[in-house]
Structure 1
């Protein structure tokens, strides 16, 4: 996730649905960026212990473990109140050294480069690090042993066998797993169900219905659609490319990831850019260009903005500002054309929120064990309760009462059925291309930029990367 936090929703059959639909299994790896060094020459002496049935990863039971958590939409209580106590109960002689920050890259990158990294890191937020570059620099621990180890609390299964399909693949780079993408996020148009019921507004399934409803909403003095240009352009890129994926099928997005010539100027992307450009010109408050995500989200909580493009972490992120009676709900992005390859109910959902163990820290085995704790059924269930977010641990939250937003996301997944698709990966593979997309989409939506200009600009940026031999290329099939 590029701008903020990636949280998830809940509902247990959602996990079952995720299992049925599956997440696309895609190896990944981005280029080595200039800000990531290869680390110091010397390596620290790393803590290890004897492997056994009770200690499958061979940790040193007495060695401390340092973890750093991103303090964003998911909060930090799952780490302080759930994961750490579970770890400490299992390994009482080991001290967990915990800290949280909203600037992961600023705090952690220098430590990675100096071979003095924390043992487990939550890489997220606007200051998240280029994880592909971290992998390429040898700064992330190979998690093969973690996924092959027995589950922390599900008897008879390895960690890998407890996860939804595709969960491991999304953290796989050049054939090896380096990250746990922990949260399972549903993306779409979020709105206040109570406001819509009060005004007898019907959630649109087609673009004509969408624009007609935007006119009605505008007539009520409410901004029909909004997002924050200052730090949440990622949300709009995902909205636009989700529409492109629905128009042309997921192959359109795979072509973008594979840097295929003409992928950005192809009809699905151009049609999506035209449709969203019209929304930007007619129904978006241009002052939002300078706002941050929480400022626009607060306006939605005040019923000043109707539709907001986001992931399912939104409900939890806004919990303290959500007034009584406000009911978060999510809708799939409407069909753009009558001949879209995927139906109106098709939905973009994927695992996200990167957690990884550092290979350059003092206790990478301890970092992996902390991840094994997080992937326990107990920890995953409590994470969902605290964050209103689903995890990649299959069946972990069966039977719990869920919030309005989570319920809506579950319904959207069920309506989508087999038409749940993962989306794209270029944003984590190629940082320069991602940065260009954020600027380009803001120009399209806020500055009256035309669709063809957007597509041409992104095509040029894509092919510049394709032709750069210094950039390590990735592919998906």
Structure 2
């Protein structure tokens, strides 16, 4: 998530980084706006609630929620690929400007630490709910434990009070946080997903960046002949290999193939030519022995570190990879992002990428300091705090032109900027992982079996379709739909 970092746990945050430059191109990136969901249903908290009386201050033009000086804010942040130094910088600025002190918790054990608090009715005020131990957003929403964020999104932008906060964001980036028409999670980080490789290794070996699956397999074959794995993946977290499988499906069958899965189509997998082609392509990598040896049994950081040691040509991941691997990446590694190569007859072009927002921040409906939490989130979407995030996490946010353009990007991040610019409107994003966590877990389990050769593509398709069909029987599923 996450991840993510979607589905991603990671190494602790590192020290202060060089501030990254936000390319002017990013202001032009267009993520196709996904369909507004059907009419709102019950649950999700009361957007007008302001918590306990001891947290209510005077509302003003600069303090629209009445965050109270002297109150306290309870902040919990997933300490994964992006670390948590950025949140500490936010909290320090919040205290300086508003006189609100923060209790900070940085952890990878989101469920372990927070589930008892949610169950006990005393959750934190704001949470970065991400990682492998994320509390699933759809589950929290169905239990009425999340605040509808409309009030924050409709409040005045810190940078330009004539604009609503929502109007300052990259189009489409709010969609992954929607449940039944309400934005209940703010996916804060602008993320791209795909393949990654070392520019240095490719130059040394004379390999060209593959644009077709045939060329991809040729690089993997050559790598194997030289004792290098072709493809590494984070075997203990099959979320990552699904980046490759699902990207192949979307690019082969176009947006209709992607929407069929999100809309729980009875032929989303079984009967889908695109799904069959996508999974068979990945299985060919397995059958031909092109996987990095041992990768199926490794965690994300173990696989990624071996890739950094030139033990594999490619790895699947989201754009948090560079920051997560800073300590393990050789200085001349020259990290590069690669859109998923094309299968024959693909409907989307090579430049098409999975892109959008990740790292969901939530405000619990029973947060003690709701005014403070709302104001904290509003300031997250200011250029000042977006830049603070970039300084600490080496990544971009969903705020358009949100980072000082005067500084140099790291090579991996620069390549994602270039890929995003090349993709233009040709971006896509699955939503089933946010809408239907149980279904997503079932698909990941099937992929785990596939990569270990315990099942073949035909059985993978059957298991994935069974997960879709089971989800479709839930009446609440009808409230989520993509046109």
| Structure 2 match to 1:375 | 381
| Structure 1 match to 2:340 | 333
| Structure 1 match to 2:174 | 168
> C-alpha distance in 1, partners of 2:293/2:408?
39
Q: Work out which of the residue numbers 251, 256, 259 in structure 1 matches 2:261.
A: 256
- In the TM superposition, 1:28-39 aligns within 5 A as none
> C-alpha distance in 1, partners of 2:44/2:319?
34
Using the TM superposition, give the Cα deviation of residue 428 of structure 1 relative to its aligned residue in structure 2, in angstroms. Answer: 1.8
Q: Kindly tell me: are residues 302 and 463 of structure 1, through their superposed partners in 2, closer, same or farther at Cα, counting changes over 3 Å?
A: same
Using the TM superposition, give the Cα deviation of residue 26 of structure 1 relative to its aligned residue in structure 2, in angstroms. Answer: 4.7
Q: Provide, for residues 38-61 of structure 1, a one-character-per-residue CA deviation record: whole Å limited to 9, x for no partner.
A: 9xxxx9735223322121112222
Higher mean alpha-carbon deviation, 72-81 vs 145-154, is at 145-154
Q: Note if contact 1:284-1:446 (Cα within 8 Å) is conserved in structure 2.
A: no
Higher mean alpha-carbon deviation, 209-218 vs 135-144, is at 135-144
**Cα root mean square deviation, aligned:** 2.4
| Structure 1 match to 2:13 | none
> C-alpha distance in 1, partners of 2:267/2:422?
33
- In the TM superposition, 1:32-181 aligns within 5 A as 45=52, 47-81=55-89, 83-92=90-99, 94-181=100-187
Higher mean alpha-carbon deviation, 163-172 vs 376-385, is at 163-172
> C-alpha distance in 2, partners of 1:331/1:22?
20
| Structure 2 match to 1:451 | 457
- In the TM superposition, 1:129-278 aligns within 5 A as 129-231=135-237, 233-265=238-270, 266-278=272-284
Q: Work out which of the residue numbers 405, 413, 417 in structure 1 matches 2:412.
A: 405
SS in 1 for 2:230: strand
SS in 1 for 2:116: helix
Give the TM-score, by structure 2 length.
0.90
SS in 1 for 2:127: strand
Higher mean alpha-carbon deviation, 402-411 vs 460-469, is at 460-469
Using the TM superposition, give the Cα deviation of residue 66 of structure 1 relative to its aligned residue in structure 2, in angstroms. Answer: 0.5
Q: Note if contact 1:28-1:429 (Cα within 8 Å) is conserved in structure 2.
A: no
Aligned residues: 463
Q: Provide, for residues 155-197 of structure 1, a one-character-per-residue CA deviation record: whole Å limited to 9, x for no partner.
A: 5322112111122333222222222110011111101111101
> C-alpha distance in 2, partners of 1:14/1:120?
31
Q: Structure 2: give runs of 5+ residues left out of the alignment.
A: 9-19
Using the TM superposition, give the Cα deviation of residue 318 of structure 1 relative to its aligned residue in structure 2, in angstroms. Answer: 0.3
1:357 aligns with 2:357: no
Q: Note if contact 1:28-1:173 (Cα within 8 Å) is conserved in structure 2.
A: no
> C-alpha distance in 2, partners of 1:26/1:198?
48
Using the TM superposition, give the Cα deviation of residue 96 of structure 1 relative to its aligned residue in structure 2, in angstroms. Answer: 0.8
- In the TM superposition, 1:284-323 aligns within 5 A as 284-285=291-292, 287-323=294-330
| Structure 1 match to 2:423 | 416
SS in 1 for 2:470: helix
